[in-house]
Amino acid sequence: MDIKILGPGCRNCATLEKRTHEALAELGQDATVTKVTDYAEIAAYGVMQTPALVIDEQVVVSGKVPVTRALRELIEAAG
């Protein structure tokens, strides 16, 4: 599974990354988590609000930071 955190590196971006790692740990699932800070690359996903979460090249969250439980559900649904 390939997960990307899209955003400029703000506090919400860091929180989304932390919660994503927590969700993966709770699920016992391995994934590659990459931070994307390049605005052109973020725009290529059609994202207008950051932070955003991309799982296997599909934008699943944009403009908010879900709680860890919600992230677990998104990861499970994508898996």
- Could you list the active site residues? 10, 13
Measured between alpha carbons, how far is 44 from 53 in angstroms, rounded to an integer? 14
Q: Tokens standing for 9?
A: 């590196």
Of the candidates 67, 62, 60, 65, which has an alpha carbon nearest to the alpha carbon of residue 23? 67
